[in-house]
Every structure is written in structure tokens, then in C-alpha cells.
């Protein structure tokens, strides 16, 4: 056994002060690991929920002119390699009036093809689920739900469903101005609009918006026939879906020049989303090529400005905000690790000062300067590595059992550290990546190394004769 190892063990066994630095390092690593795991889990959960309500890619026209040529647009997209499905949509801002006056993002979809490009059929709620979710404002969809059925989307917008809702709303009173045989068009709203009392199933809703063609205000009446829960609070409160054909009529989207209805764009599902950048360029090139064809050709698409975006591009600001927040928190938490390194530095400096004579004796007995440097450096790195290992293990343990710990705190104190009504999550998401482990441990070891190096170098440069003479 080298004398450096023997003396380091002897000193650390007899002193408790150095272990304070180990505790500080452990707390820093523990905090960093826990926070970064929760932030990463929250980011992944949010991305999954946003992606479910959007398609992989979207082809959109300008807000005022929109796109024309729905059939050739869908054909061009579906013939592009890597595209599994395509569906048209219309999107506009509308003000609705029922018991209250509020606004919504109104989205017109094709009920028969929308389930092929998004998870709308997965988010669509049955009447029993709507009752359960309204009864409990914090409840989310259970994981053991039946598999999604695309036919449910068509059924909820069907004439039979609209008649059923109108019949339930009328209850023998024809005062609404609608006959059961000709009910208003269907509207599917977010569950939060029902929970807040703004809307209810069967409500007749007056929608007010404007036509991007004539620039005139347009007003229509719809009936609430269903609800969805995407897991994104803003969408569940502000989004509403209707049949695309009903919305085209409401907005008066007939294009005289092209003799066709306009659409906002088409949604695309890809076979492999990792190929999205390449497929996005291919779709843009194919549609642009068809727009350059002679208008008399069968595959020609009337020219309109367009852009192709992925779902991440559409929510880029939100996703970047979460990533930036994670980095800021990590940078702030690194201050704890820096403080722990400073503690190691101070403790080792005190050690060198306290053991001045002992170090002089070691040098007099033949210890080299490098040997003294290794002696002090080993003590500092042992404290740092031990603290990092304890913190890493504790952080991993908390990450794996974070929801059980949270429930224990809630039962003991009645305090929810992660309120469902704020974060819209029943459980705390946590995901520990090896990249985050490296990102935490590497700075910790670097700080610990430099916190140990300077006292070690100072100890190695001590003159043994002066040290012995001083004593």
C-alpha cells in the first residue's frame, strides 16, 4: 500500500469536517439529477401530447389565400415516398356565444381520414368518460382504455348523433328554431371547456368568424356533440373541431377562379418520422412541380404560396422555452456543486496548514513533491467521487419512486408539490438520460479536481526545512 493511501485513510477516519464537503457534493448531484430527470420527463410528456393532436407534417397555405385543389394536393402527398396518409383541414379563429362569450381555435377536419394522420380518435371521449372527467376536475384518461376506433370520429359528427343531441336539448320545446330532422352541424370541444361551464353537451353554439375570401363576417350555429382530452390544457380549453365541409360553407371558401373549395392545408402522417426533413423537401418539391404545370393538365394544382412544417416547427417556441428553462435550472443548480468544490478547497487548505510539520517530516524522510501532491489530491478526489456517487444513487432512487414519495408527502402534510390543475398531469413525469448523468457528473468531478489541485500544488511546493524550523 502506498503511503498516500494509508495517510489519506488515517486522516479521513479521524476527522468529520472533510465529510461535510462530501455531503455538499452529494446534495448538489442529487438535486441536479432529480431536477433534470423531472424536466426531461415533463418535456417528453408534453411533446407526446402535442404530437398526438398534430400530424407529423403539415402543408399550409397563406392565411388569406389558402390552398386550392384538395384532390391533387392529397394525391401528390400520398404518392410521396414515406407518406402513409394525408387529410385536409381548415383552421381559423372564431368567437363562440352560448352561456358565455369566448374565443376558440376552430379546426375543420375530414372525419373519415383525420384518424389516419393524428390521434384524434384516441382523444375522443365517450359520454360516460365525459361525465367522469367533469365530476373530477383533476382526472385524466385511464391508461387501460379500449383501443381507438376511427369509426367513432365519423359517428360523433354523424346526422344521427346531431339529431340525438338536438332531441336531448329540445326536450319537446321547439323554441330553438331547429327541427330534429335538420339539426345544426356538430362541434367537438375540449373537456376543459365543459369543466369550466362555458359549454355543455347539446348546447347550441353561435360561431362568429370572417371569410378569408370575401373578408366579411360569417355567423353559423353548431351543436356540441362530443368532447376530447389531449392532455394539453390550452388545447383542451380553446380548440374545437367541426366537419370540414360544414366549415367550408360557413366561411364561404368557394374559389371562382379554380372552381373548387379552398382549404387551409393538409396533414400528413409519415412511416418514419426520423426521415421528416427529407420527406418535407420531397413533398414541397412535388407540390411545387404540379403548381408549375399547365392548368389544363389533370395533375395541375393552382398556384398558391405554401410552406411545409413538422409538428415540432409548429410548436417550436414552446419546446424551446422548456429546453431553455431546463438549462437555466441546471446552470443554477451547478452553483451547489461549485460551492461543494469550494468547501473541498477550503478543507484541504486547512489540512495543509494544520499538517505543515507532518508534510515537512514526509519530505525529510524522502517523499517527493509529486508524492505530496498526490497525497492531498487523492483526499480531495476521494471526497468528491464519494459525494458524486451517493448523490447519483440518491437521485436515481428518487427518480424511480418520485410519485410514491410525492403521495407520502401529500398524505402527511396535505400539500401537493405538483398540483394537477396547474401541470395537467396526474403523476410527476421523470426520465433520467445517460446524457444528463454525464452532464451532472463531469462538471462535479472537474470542480472537485480543481478544488483539490491548488491545495495539493501548494503543499508540494512547501520547503521541508522551513516547515520543520517553523514548528
Q: Are residues 168 and 301 in the same domain?
A: yes
Window from 31-35, 43-47, 401-405, 422-426 with minimum mean pLDDT: 422-426
Q: Given 310, 334, 354, which residue is the final one in a domain?
A: 310
The closest alpha carbon to 196, from 165, 156, 139, 236, belongs to 236
Q: Are residues 299 and 338 in the same domain?
A: no
Q: Are residues 302 and 349 in the same domain?
A: no
C-alpha cell at 111: 372525419
Q: Are residues 171 and 106 in the same domain?
A: yes
pLDDT (mean) for 241-267: 89
Q: Are residues 16 and 64 in the same domain?
A: no
The closest alpha carbon to 275, from 80, 40, 76, 60, belongs to 80
Q: Are residues 40 and 77 in the same domain?
A: no
Residues 6 or more apart whose CB falls under 8 angstroms from that of 322 comprise: 39, 42, 43, 46
Q: Specify the higher pLDDT residue, 364 or 432.
A: 432
Q: Are residues 299 and 334 in the same domain?
A: no
Look up residue 255 and give its DSSP letter. E
Number of domains in the chain: 2
413-427 pLDDT, tens digit per residue, is 877 777 665 566 667
140-191 pLDDT, tens digit per residue, is 777 667 777 788 899 999 989 998 888 877 665 555 566 667 788 999 999 9
The closest alpha carbon to 253, from 218, 284, 282, 298, belongs to 218
pLDDT (mean) for 252-262: 84
- What's the confidence (pLDDT) of residue 460? 63
Look up residue 176 and give its DSSP letter. G
Quickly count helices (H) and strands (E) in the chain.
20, 12
Q: Given 310, 345, 371, which residue is the final one in a domain?
A: 310
pLDDT at 1 over 50: no
Q: Are residues 333 and 233 in the same domain?
A: no
Q: Are residues 294 and 354 in the same domain?
A: no
CB atoms within 10 A of CB 421: 9
Range of the domain at 354: 3-46+319-470
- What's the confidence (pLDDT) of residue 462? 59
CB atoms within 10 A of CB 218: 17
Question: What is the Cα–Cα distance from 387 to 174, expressed in whole angstroms?
Answer: 75
Q: Are residues 32 and 64 in the same domain?
A: no
pLDDT at 443 over 70: yes
306-330 pLDDT, tens digit per residue, is 888 887 777 777 777 777 877 787 7
Mean pLDDT of the residues in the chain: 80
At residue 57's C-alpha, the angle toward residues 53 and 58, to 5°, is 85
Q: Are residues 35 and 61 in the same domain?
A: no
pLDDT (mean) for 81-103: 90
Q: Are residues 275 and 402 in the same domain?
A: no
Concatenated DSSP letters of 267-287:
EEEES-GGGHHHHHHHHHHHH
At 221, give phi and psi (nearest 5°): -115, 135
Window from 153-162, 268-277, 327-336 with minimum mean pLDDT: 327-336
- What's the confidence (pLDDT) of residue 9? 60
Confidence at 28, pLDDT banded by 50, 70, 90: confident
Q: Given 310, 328, 353, which residue is the final one in a domain?
A: 310
pLDDT at 260 over 60: yes
Amino acid at each position: 500500500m502506498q503511503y498516500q493511501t494509508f495517510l489519506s485513510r488515517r486522516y479521513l477516519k479521524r476527522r468529520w469536517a472533510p465529510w461535510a464537503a462530501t455531503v455538499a457534493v452529494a446534495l448538489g448531484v442529487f438535486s441536479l439529477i432529480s431536477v433534470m430527470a423531472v424536466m426531461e420527463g415533463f418535456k417528453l410528456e408534453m411533446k407526446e401530447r402535442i404530437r398526438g393532436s398534430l400530424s407529423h407534417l403539415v402543408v399550409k397555405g397563406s392565411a388569406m389565400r389558402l390552398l386550392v385543389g384538395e384532390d391533387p394536393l392529397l394525391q401528390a402527398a400520398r404518392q410521396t415516398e414515406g407518406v402513409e396518409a394525408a387529410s385536409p383541414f381548415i383552421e381559423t379563429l372564431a368567437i363562440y356565444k352560448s352561456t358565455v362569450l369566448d374565443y376558440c381555435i376552430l379546426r375543420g377536419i375530414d372525419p373519415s381520414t383525420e384518424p389516419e394522420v393524428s390521434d384524434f380518435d384516441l382523444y375522443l371521449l365517450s359520454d360516460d368518460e365525459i361525465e367522469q372527467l367533469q365530476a373530477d376536475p383533476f382526472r385524466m384518461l385511464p391508461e387501460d382504455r379500449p383501443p381507438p376506433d376511427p369509426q367513432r370520429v365519423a359517428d360523433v359528427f354523424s346526422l344521427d348523433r346531431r339529431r340525438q343531441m338536438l332531441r336531448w336539448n329540445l326536450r319537446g320545446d321547439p323554441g330553438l328554431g331547429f327541427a330534429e330532422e335538420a339539426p345544426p352541424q356538430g362541434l367537438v370541444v375540449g373537456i376543459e371547456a365543459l369543466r369550466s361551464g362555458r359549454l355543455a353537451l347539446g348546447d347550441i353554439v353561435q360561431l362568429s368568424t370572417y371569410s378569408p375570401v370575401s373578408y366579411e363576417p360569417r355567423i353559423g350555429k353548431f351543436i356540441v356533440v362530443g368532447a376530447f382530452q389531449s392532455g394539453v390544457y390550452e388545447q383542451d380549453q380553446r380548440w374545437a373541431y367541426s366537419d370540414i365541409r360544414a366549415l367550408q360553407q360557413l366561411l364561404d371558401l368557394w374559389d371562382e377562379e379554380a372552381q373548387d373549395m379552398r382549404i387551409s392545408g393538409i396533414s400528413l402522417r409519415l412511416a418514419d418520422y426520423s426521415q421528416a426533413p427529407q420527406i418535407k423537401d420531397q413533398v414541397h418539391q412535388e407540390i411545387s412541380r404540379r403548381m408549375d404545370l399547365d392548368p389544363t393538365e389533370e395533375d395541375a394544382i393552382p398556384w398558391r404560396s405554401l410552406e411545409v412544417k413538422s409538428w415540432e416547427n409548429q410548436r417550436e417556441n414552446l419546446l424551446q422555452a422548456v429546453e431553455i428553462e431546463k438549462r437555466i435550472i441546471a446552470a443554477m443548480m451547478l452553483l451547489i456543486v461549485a460551492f461543494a468544490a469550494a468547501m473541498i478547497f477550503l478543507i484541504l487548505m486547512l489540512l495543509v496548514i494544520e499538517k505543515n510539520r507532518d508534510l515537512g517530516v514526509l519530505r525529510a524522510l524522502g517523499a517527493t513533491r509529486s508524492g505530496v501532491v498526490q497525497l492531498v489530491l487523492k483526499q480531495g478526489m476521494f471526497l468528491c467521487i464519494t459525494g458524486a456517487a451517493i448523490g447519483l444513487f440518491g437521485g436515481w432512487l428518487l427518480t424511480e419512486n418520485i410519485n410514491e414519495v410525492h403521495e407520502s408527502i401529500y398524505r402527511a402534510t396535505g400539500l401537493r408539490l405538483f398540483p394537477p390543475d396547474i401541470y395537467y398531469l396526474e403523476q410527476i413525469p421523470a426520465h433520467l438520460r445517460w446524457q444528463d448523468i454525464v452532464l451532472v457528473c463531469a462538471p462535479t468531478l472537474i470542480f472537485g479536481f480543481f478544488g483539490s489541485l491548488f491545495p495539493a500544488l501548494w503543499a508540494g511546493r512547501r520547503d521541508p526545512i522551513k516547515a520543520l524550523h517553523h514548528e
